Structure 1
Amino acid sequence: MESDGTDSAGQGAPHRSQLHALLSMGETQLNRWFPGITEDLIRHGAQVGSGPAIQYYVDGVLKACVPDSMMLGATRPFLEDHMRQRVVALPNVQVRAARATGLLFTGSRVCGVRFQPRDSVTLCSGNEELDADLVVDAMGRSSRLGTWLREHGWDEPPLDRMRVDLGYATALFHRGQELPGTVIAHASPGPSTGYEQRLSEPGALTAVEANRWSVVIAGYGEYKPDRDPVEFLRRMRRCVAPLREVAGNCELDGDIQTFHFRESRRRNFTRLNRFPGGLLAVGDAVASVNPAYGQGLTLATLAASSLSAHLRAGASPRVPAWNYFRRLGVVVNAAWQVSTTADLAQPHVTGPYPRGYRMIRWAGDKVLEASVIDTAVNAEFMAVVNMHKHPRALAKPRTLLRAARVLATRR
């Protein structure tokens, strides 16, 4: 069933038109579920970059190239449409377009959902019911699951929050022969500017289908971008060389779209003392982290893989899915650690700070500095960014010692 606003038009995802990144781990998971989808996407216009075609800048300096890196360039609607075509073509899949309004219970387990068909004359039309062995909450960061649980006498999952006050704006540009060796360029402030966005303009571009560039400009607090094309181009010209090139040589295609991301959220299902069987959650309904780090789509693919592993292990869908939530929690907590540790470097973000934050921040800054000039350190750093490795990989003695040697040699 599709809940209200989650149809192919993406009406329930107001940020759908913004630049999205599918990290390489996400691309790996998609090909696991949809064999050959990367080739299919490329055949229909998606761009693929590897090695020097993927450019990350820190404080305006291009980081060391990671030769075996690979990322896909495509808009989110393009990616979702191709995934949807694959899913609805499955013989055991049926789609019901409806507005979910609540859960059905039998004793201590969920046995279905209550809904209003989308073709109802009014929202006051009567509810219908759909029986289910397993109900999956994929309603996103505004999920109503907690409210529905409370209505039936269950506790809501505890919610962690970190206010980041991020604003970003995305624009499409016609793509020609400029930047022939670039598919993705990403710029962010770093240690040498004190992570000050006014000193190192944050932004990114991706070559996408239909011969276009998708460009995003981001900013925190009062530095959030708006829909003014003149100001958007001005900020592009303050960014790194690829964005300056597009600003100077490419024609804007359509209006600029803005979005405001107020806070990261993480729902901790494993901290509950009890939970109904026949129910679980995926994607942003579990965790929604700062989109500046591009983890959202990949987190969703890893949630699907966690669910698969849980069910293939023989777990009954009718009992509480504690093993699933613990398995998914490893991935979610890693993404949360990466995003919140980076967010806390922003002057306007005031916590909560994890234990040992000062040491974590100091070591992280040194590894980041070394990753700018050393391929081996950057390969380890990007493996964490792309969610192939846990953040603790950057704290391994081997990585820290190499970073120290690199920085000492530079001095």
Structure 2
Amino acid sequence: MQRAVVLGGSIAGLMAARVLSDHADDVVIVERDGLGPADTGRPGVPQIKQLHVVLEGGRLQMERWFPGLTAELIADGAVPSDGDAIEHYFDGVRKVPVAEETTIGLTRPFLEGRIRDRVLGRDNVRLVPGLVRGLLFERGRARGVRFAPRGAEDAKETETLTADLVVDATGRSSRLEHWLRDAGWQPPRLDRMRIDLRYTTALFRRGDELPGVAVVQSLSSPAPAGTPQQDFGVVAEVEGGRWMVVLSAYGQPPNRDAATFVERVRDTPGAPFAEIAACSLDSDIETYQMADSRRRTFTGLGRFPAGLVVVGDAFASFNPVYGQGMSSAALHASCLSAFLRSGERLDEPAWGYFRRAEVVVDAAWGLSTLGDLAMPHVTGPYPRGYRFTSWYVEKLGIASMTDAEVNRRYLAVAHMREHPRVLTGPSTLWAVARTLRATRRRAPVPPQRSGSGSVANRLRSTPAS
């Protein structure tokens, strides 16, 4: 492959560019925001200052493509945690901890800046600042991109870049449908699920409160129709000795008032939130709204241009409460690698890539939308077998409160390390039934906190290479 062009310098685009650097002589990233300050983020990403999560499945893929990245992030201030240092609450009751669960607390600009440095440090990767205006098509395939150089976005003239492969990483606002229709192609099916989510993030200065705790999550049962839904809350210790707090609400207008936000943090179920609310606020209040989750399905198309693939939020964008975005992007990059290594021809549609990536998308979509459909304001579409699936997932959730093995399997799926099918295997079904029988005979006892375990130490000692 002589040249590949990646549209968008998000984490999805950067991961795709890293994979392509092993297969193309020249990899060009077209990014409207250019480089920008490494630790402040790109201004074209309105949610850049919101809390982002790197699930373990995504971290492992990032480590695969950037060996030593985990150790580098921790050395620069990211906060590793595992086991008892991660507290999950449901309706204010703490779930049993799982020793194998790990995470890293950091801000998105911090992570994105270091991945970008690694990608642009490769000899055959370069970034061109510009606004994408459309795709070039020729003889049944994508042949490149039209873009307006940075500083000339309003000019009618555009420049072009030809390519053997074009990767759309322009996010959930991708204009892929318009580009395809304009060239006479049928666009992929676009599914939407309206969730009407509003979320708010702020930083607090960390002191000596909550020793041994690095991450706290609070979820609540769906409220009855017509009554306000309790905030969902997530707290993570991030670089610079700070707590980053995000509150998610359905249907409620976002509010940037500091006193109101602190009060909402204090009222979030789970004891740690009240302690964090007593800390000093260390940032402005940042808000963001997300009307719907969406995904595109490509494999049902009868024809599609060769030389074109789609990654990240341009492929599927999920409810951010579940933290699947960046990890999905990392998995899409690995699907792209598998496709390129398979020897499939680039002058034919990339069905091999789309089949692989849709396994990732379907798993993440099924997990997140199942939770969304439990909300009374979400009206579907409902998948086949929804009633039984939702009944079983409710029982699974009850069992995961007190059974460490059931919770371990659930978290492996939630962290995108395992496919959701493991939750319906015979051994999991038996474990759920056994635990439910036991809970009828005794009330669950919330686990006590203890010191951090060995997995965080293993993360700290990941060798750089």
TM-score, shorter chain, exceeding 0.5 = yes
Matches within 5 A, 1:289-304: 289-304=318-333
- CA positional deviation for 1:116: 1.2
**How well do the aligned residues superpose, as a CA RMSD in angstroms?**
1.6
CA displacement, residues 185-220 of structure 1 (integer Å, 9 cap, x when unaligned):
1110137x7799957541010000111111001110
Which runs of 5 or more structure 1 residues have no equivalent in the other structure?
A: none
Provide the aligned length of Structure 1 versus Structure 2.
407
Matches within 5 A, 1:315-354: 315-354=344-383
1:206 maps to 2:236: yes
Q: Which residue, 133, 136, 145 being the options, matches 1:104?
A: 136
Q: Secondary structure at the match of 1:190?
A: coil
Q: Which residue, 241, 246, 254 being the options, matches 2:271?
A: 241
- CA positional deviation for 1:379: 0.2
- CA positional deviation for 1:355: 1.3
Q: Which residue, 24, 27, 31 being the options, matches 2:63?
A: 31
CA distance in 2: counterparts of 1:133 and 1:26, whole angstroms: 28
Give the conservation status (yes or no) of the 8 Å contact 1:189–1:196: no
1:56 maps to 2:88: yes
1:166 maps to 2:197: yes
CA displacement, residues 325-354 of structure 1 (integer Å, 9 cap, x when unaligned):
010000100000001111001111111111
CA distance in 2: counterparts of 1:394 and 1:89, whole angstroms: 41
CA distance in 2: counterparts of 1:149 and 1:199, whole angstroms: 40
Aligned to 2:166: 135
Give the conservation status (yes or no) of the 8 Å contact 1:97–1:118: yes
CA distance in 1: counterparts of 2:171 and 2:225, whole angstroms: 30
Residue type at the aligned position of 1:179: L
When normalised by structure 2's length, the TM-score is 0.85
1:314 maps to 2:343: yes
Aligned to 1:355: 384
Aligned to 1:65: 97
CA displacement, residues 25-61 of structure 1 (integer Å, 9 cap, x when unaligned):
0110000000000000001100000111111111111
CA distance in 2: counterparts of 1:6 and 1:287, whole angstroms: 24
Distance change >3 Å, CA 147–CA 291, structure 1 → 2: same
1:2 maps to 2:33: no
Residue type at the aligned position of 1:357: Y
- CA positional deviation for 1:125: 4.7
- CA positional deviation for 1:7: 4.7
Point out the more displaced range, 28-37 or 234-243.
234-243
1:95 maps to 2:127: yes
- CA positional deviation for 1:2: 2.4
Give the conservation status (yes or no) of the 8 Å contact 2:172–2:313: yes
Which runs of 5 or more structure 2 residues have no equivalent in the other structure?
A: 1-28, 441-465
CA distance in 2: counterparts of 1:82 and 1:176, whole angstroms: 27
- CA positional deviation for 1:117: 1.0
Q: Secondary structure at the match of 2:363?
A: helix
Aligned to 1:400: 429
Aligned to 2:317: 288
CA distance in 2: counterparts of 1:73 and 1:395, whole angstroms: 31
Q: Secondary structure at the match of 2:353?
A: helix
- CA positional deviation for 1:119: 3.4
Residue type at the aligned position of 1:31: E
CA distance in 2: counterparts of 1:185 and 1:204, whole angstroms: 6
Q: Secondary structure at the match of 2:207?
A: coil
Distance change >3 Å, CA 18–CA 195, structure 1 → 2: farther
Q: Secondary structure at the match of 1:405?
A: helix
Q: Secondary structure at the match of 1:95?
A: strand
Give the conservation status (yes or no) of the 8 Å contact 1:187–1:204: yes
| % identity of equivalent residues | 49
CA distance in 2: counterparts of 1:375 and 1:274, whole angstroms: 47
Distance change >3 Å, CA 365–CA 197, structure 1 → 2: farther
Residue type at the aligned position of 2:336: L
Distance change >3 Å, CA 6–CA 327, structure 1 → 2: farther
CA displacement, residues 203-262 of structure 1 (integer Å, 9 cap, x when unaligned):
01000011111100111013x5411111111111111222211101x1111210000110
CA displacement, residues 95-135 of structure 1 (integer Å, 9 cap, x when unaligned):
11111111112210111111111133x52151111111100
Aligned to 2:118: 86
Aligned to 1:147: 178
CA distance in 1: counterparts of 2:399 and 2:195, whole angstroms: 27
Aligned to 1:190: 221
Aligned to 2:248: 218
Q: Secondary structure at the match of 1:119?
A: coil
Point out the more displaced range, 377-386 or 175-184.
175-184
CA distance in 2: counterparts of 1:213 and 1:6, whole angstroms: 29
- CA positional deviation for 1:180: 2.0
- CA positional deviation for 1:356: 1.3
Point out the more displaced range, 137-146 or 384-393.
384-393
Q: Secondary structure at the match of 2:125?
A: coil
CA distance in 1: counterparts of 2:55 and 2:224, whole angstroms: 26
Residue type at the aligned position of 1:361: S
Give the conservation status (yes or no) of the 8 Å contact 2:34–2:130: no
Point out the more displaced range, 169-178 or 26-35.
169-178
CA distance in 1: counterparts of 2:181 and 2:229, whole angstroms: 47
CA displacement, residues 149-197 of structure 1 (integer Å, 9 cap, x when unaligned):
1111001111001000010000011112222211111110137x77999
Q: Secondary structure at the match of 1:13?
A: coil
Residue type at the aligned position of 1:327: R
Aligned to 1:374: 403
Point out the more displaced range, 303-312 or 351-360.
351-360
1:227 maps to 2:256: yes
Aligned to 2:22: none
CA distance in 2: counterparts of 1:391 and 1:190, whole angstroms: 21
Give the conservation status (yes or no) of the 8 Å contact 2:229–2:249: no
1:46 maps to 2:78: yes
Q: Secondary structure at the match of 1:367?
A: helix
CA distance in 2: counterparts of 1:32 and 1:197, whole angstroms: 46
Distance change >3 Å, CA 262–CA 171, structure 1 → 2: same
Give the conservation status (yes or no) of the 8 Å contact 2:31–2:127: no
